[in-house]
Amino acid sequence: MSDERPASTTTGGALDAEVATALRSRLPDVAARTVEAVTAEVADYADSWSGDYGANIAQAVELALAAFLRLAEEPEPVVSAQRLGPVLEAAYALGRGEARSGRTMDALQSAYRVGARVAWEQWSTAALDAGLPARSLIRFASLVFAYIDQLSAASVTGHRDELATTGRVREQYRERLAWALLNGAPDEEIARHVQRADWRPPRTLTCILAPSAHSSTVRSFVDGTTVSVEAESVGPGPLSDMTVHLVPDVGPRRSAIREHLTGYAWVVGPERVWHEVSGSYARALRILDLYGLRPEAIDTESRLTELVVAADGDALADLRTLALKPFSGMKPETARRLAETLRSWLLHQGRRNDVAAHLVVHPQTVRYRMAQIREAYGNLLEDPEFVSGLMVALAVPVGSGTPSDDGGRGTGT
């Protein structure tokens, strides 16, 4: 239990035996009224402190108030952690229990505020009726509220400690779950991890691979049930300082995620049935293999063509060498510009102005380059089968930095 508690408070007076006896006779009634007020005024407790549990809470309140009266009868009552050890331990345990029940710290503090008000209303009236001098009422009030403040502080500490402990444990279990999913663990093992992590499987999961330094940014906009794990722990590879986030049910939010990631070095994999998310991770890794980690967000859904044609890097390089062979005798920079122009020409179906806009050149430049290209290729550009291979060869931009780039093997590119 934490030692974070308010400083001790001392009063200069005490309840005499007659007043204390009168208050003690009211204990069951005060406890019951306190529980009734809390359930009526604090929404989180409206349906939870009822039946046998409500009776147990009322008994706990009664015992705490009885401990207070024993303290108040002492000649110099002092509200301190050392003097109230057992009572504070009980309050601490109450706070942990409330956290496990899912109630918030605000709800717990609200319950204490209501309880303090009701206890004071009941006891102040009873104390005056029993003969407590009015001048002693202020000292009595100070003692009551100091005592309840100590109980409240102990419960809040218990609540906070429970959340911290369960949060760390749950996070560790969820990391193990993510590891099992990404490594294709058997269904039985995954089921055990799901249960231990207290995690409800979604319909789908989507992998987001991002620098670990951006983890807080990821968590600021994804579902709270997202599971994450350091990429280095998943398997070998150049993934130091990277984290894998498995985001539930992205669906139509994908475009919003892409917009949110603009400017970040992240890779978003495809959406997959939750227990097949390793496929989403594998595709994100493939994009990293092709492009490396760039200072931009890459959605693998927008790179499907490159992924397909680059599946066999050597075959693509050979196809590109063959397709661009007419440029092989040119200077490398000239060959690169003509290959770039030819690709744009194919993509825009020969619309010169669109090609010019795409390449950011004058339409006359496009006309000049295409004249060079036609001279180099001759009738090959009229052959549908050759053009089909040419389109595949140029599906990945020349000089994109992918493993499929031929590095100038006989093409001048």
- Angle in degrees, 0-180, between the axes of helices 363-377 and 332-347, rounded to the nearest 10: 100
Per-position DSSP letters for 134-168, written without gaps between them: HHHHHHHHHHHHHHHHHHHHHHHHHHHHHHHHHHH
Q: Is the pTM of this model over 0.85?
A: no
Q: Among 67-71, 177-181, 225-229, 244-248, which stretch is predicted with the lowest mean pLDDT?
A: 67-71
Average pLDDT estimate for 13-29:
79
Report the C-alpha gap between 47 and 28 in whole angstroms. 21
pLDDT of residue 91: 87
The mean pLDDT of the chain is 81
As a whole-number percent, the residues of the chain with pLDDT over 70 amount to 86
Q: Tell me the pLDDT tens digit for each residue of 249-285.
A: 988 888 887 777 777 778 889 999 999 999 999 998 8
Q: pLDDT higher for 218 or 197?
A: 197
Tokens of 210: 């991002």
CA dist list (Å): 78 to 60, 71, 104, 231, 357: 22, 8, 30, 55, 83
Range with the poorest average pLDDT among 51-55, 105-109, 129-133, 403-407: 403-407
* Res 275: pLDDT: 92
Query: How many angstroms separate the CA atoms of 63 and 117, rounded?
Result: 18
Query: Is 196's pLDDT higher than 70?
Result: yes
pLDDT, residue 6, reads 38
* CB 336 within 8 Å of CB 412: yes
Task: Return the closest-CA partner of residue 31 out of 5, 81, 65, 75.
Answer: 65
Q: Is the dihedral of CA 341, 346, 350, 351 positive or negative?
A: negative
Spell out the domains of the chain, with CATH numbers in brackets: 9-166 (1.10.490.10), 200-309 (3.30.70), 313-393 (1.10.10)
Degrees to nearest 5, angle at CA 175 with 174 and 176: 90
Residue 83: pLDDT band with limits 50, 70, 90: low
Helices (H), 101-230: 105-129, 134-182, 187-196, 215-219
Q: Is 317:300 a contact under the CB 8 Å cutoff?
A: no
Name the percent of the chain lying above pLDDT 90: 19
Out of 42-51, 95-104, 281-290, 339-348, least confident range: 42-51
What's the one-letter identity of residue 22?
A
Lowest mean pLDDT among 149-158, 303-312, 317-326: 303-312
Q: Give the mean pLDDT of 46-61.
A: 72
Highest mean pLDDT: which range of 185-189, 289-293, 306-310, 395-399: 185-189
Those residues whose C-beta lies under 8 Å from the C-beta of residue 286, and which sit 6 or more positions away, are 300, 307
- DSSP class per residue in 348-392: TTT-HHHHHHHHTS-HHHHHHHHHHHHHHHGGGGG-HHHHHHHHH
Using one digit for the tens of pLDDT, what is the confidence trace for 95-138? 888 887 778 888 888 888 888 898 888 888 888 888 888 777 88
Q: What pLDDT is recorded for position 79?
A: 55
pLDDT class of 202 with cuts at 50, 70, 90: very high
pLDDT for 324-333, tens place per residue?
999 988 999 9
Confidence at residue 363, expressed as pLDDT on a 0 to 100 scale: 92
Q: Which residue has the higher pLDDT, 240 or 107?
A: 107
